[in-house]
Structure 1
Amino acid sequence: MLKALWLAGCRLCNWLSYCNKLSDSHQINNEDALKNKLSVAASEKTKFNVIVPFSGGKDSTYALFLMKEIYQMRPLAINFDNGFRSEYAIKNLHHITNLLEVDLVTIKPDWGLMRKLYKCFLKYTGKFCTVCNAIGYLTIFNYVLQLGHLIGCSPLVVGAWVSKIEEQPDVYSFDMKYFINTIKEENNLYEELINNCFIDEDLLCALMNNPDPRVVTSYDESLIVNFIQLPDYLNWDIKKR
Structure 2
Amino acid sequence: MRNYLGDDALKETIESFLQSNRNRNNNYDCILALSGGRDSTYLLYYIRKVLNLRVLSYSVDNGFIPYQTKQNLKNMADILNVKLVIEKNENLSKCIKHHFLSFIHKPSAPMIGLLCTGCRLMVTMFDDFVERSKVPVIISGGNPMDTTTSFKTLIMAQNPNILKENSLLLGYLFEAIKNPRWLLNYTCFVTQFKEYYFHFRPQKKFKNILDIAPYYDYIKWDEKKVVSTIKNELGWEENMDAQSSWRGDCDIALLKLYLYKKMLGFNDRDEALSYLIRDGQISRDEALERLEKEGNIHEKKIKSILDSIGLKLSDLKIALETSKI
Give the corresponding residue for 1:14.
none
CA distance in 1: counterparts of 2:40 and 2:70, whole angstroms: 14
Q: Deviations over 1:191-220 (max 9, x none)?
A: 2568xxxxxx6x9745422xxxxxxxx544
Does structure 1 retain, via aligned residues, the 8 Å contact 2:137–2:210? yes
The aligned counterpart of 2:82 is 102
Question: What is the CA distance between 1:86 and its match in structure 2?
Answer: 2.0
**Cα distance in 2 for residues equivalent to 1:93 and 1:129:** 26
Q: Aligned in 2, Cα 1:206/1:230: closer, same or farther, shift over 3 Å?
A: same
Q: 1:112 aligns with which of 94, 97, 101?
A: 94
1:222 and 1:131 map into 2 onto residues whose CA distance is: 30
Give the letter aligned to residue 160 of structure 1. Answer: G
Partner of 1:234: 219
Identical-residue share of aligned pairs (%): 18
| Distance change >3 Å, CA 231–CA 75, structure 1 → 2 | same
Runs ≥4 in structure 1, deviation > 6 angstroms? Answer: none
- Mark the CA change 1:81 to 1:179 in structure 2 (over 3 Å): closer, same or farther: farther
User: Secondary structure of 1:69's partner?
Assistant: helix
Deviation at 1:94, TM superposition (A): 0.3
- The separation in 1 between residues aligned to 2:31 and 2:68, in whole angstroms, is 23
TM-score by length of 1: 0.62
From 139, 142, 145, the equivalent of 2:122 is 139
CA distance in 1, matches of 2:170, 2:58: 24
Q: Does 1:162 align with 2:143?
A: yes
Q: Higher helix share goes to which structure? A: 2
Unaligned ranges ≥5, structure 1: 1-25, 195-200, 210-217
- Which residue number corresponds to residue 29 of structure 1? 4
- On the 8 A contact 1:50/1:156 being kept in 2, the answer is yes
Taking the aligned partners of 1:234 and 1:65, their CA distance within structure 2 comes to 14
2:200 pairs with one of 208, 212, 227: 208
CA 1:28 to 1:114, structure 2 compared with 1: closer, same or farther past 3 Å? farther
Counterpart CA distance in 2 for 1:179 and 1:157 is 30
Moved more, 229-238 or 153-162: 153-162
The alignment partner of 1:30 has SS state of coil
Q: Please report the TM-score for the alignment, with normalisation by the length of structure 2.
A: 0.48
Matched, 1:39 2:15: yes
The 3-state SS of whatever aligns with 1:239 is helix
Give the superposition deviation at 1:166: 3.6
User: Partners in 1 of 2:171 and 2:29 — Cα distance?
Assistant: 35
SS in 2 for 1:96: helix
Instruction: Deviation per CA, 1:10-49: give whole Å up to 9, x if none.
Output: xxxxxxxxxxxxxxxx964112552343124543541333
Output the amino acid matched with 2:142: W
On the 8 A contact 2:110/2:152 being kept in 1, the answer is no
**Residue 191 (structure 1) aligns with:** 190
Number of aligned residue pairs: give it.
198
Q: Does the CA contact (< 8 Å) of 2:58 and 2:126 recur in 1?
A: no
Structure number with higher relative contact order (C-alpha < 8 Å, ≥ 6 residues apart):
1
How well do the aligned residues superpose, as a CA RMSD in angstroms?
A: 4.0
Q: CA shift at 1:237, angstroms? A: 1.0
CA distance in structure 2 between the aligned counterparts of 1:87 and 1:180, rounded to whole angstroms: 38
Distance change in 2, residues 1:190/1:156 (3 Å): farther
The 1:78/1:150 distance shift into structure 2, 3 A limit, reads closer
1:85 and 2:65 equivalent?
A: yes
CA distance in 2, matches of 1:35, 1:170: 36
Q: Is the Cα contact below 8 Å between 1:180 and 1:190 reproduced in 2? A: no
Larger radius of gyration: 2
Report the CA distance between 1:50 and its aligned residue. 1.8
Distance, in Å, in 2 between the alignment partners of 1:81 and 1:73 is 25
Q: What is the CA distance between 1:101 and its match in structure 2?
A: 1.3
The secondary structure found in structure 1 opposite 2:84 is: strand
What whole-Å deviation, never above 9, does each CA across 1:161-197 have from its counterpart, x for those lacking one?
A: 3223443522468x89548984985232232568xxx
CA contact (8 A) 2:36 2:70 kept: yes
Residues 52, 64 of structure 1: 8 Å contact kept: yes
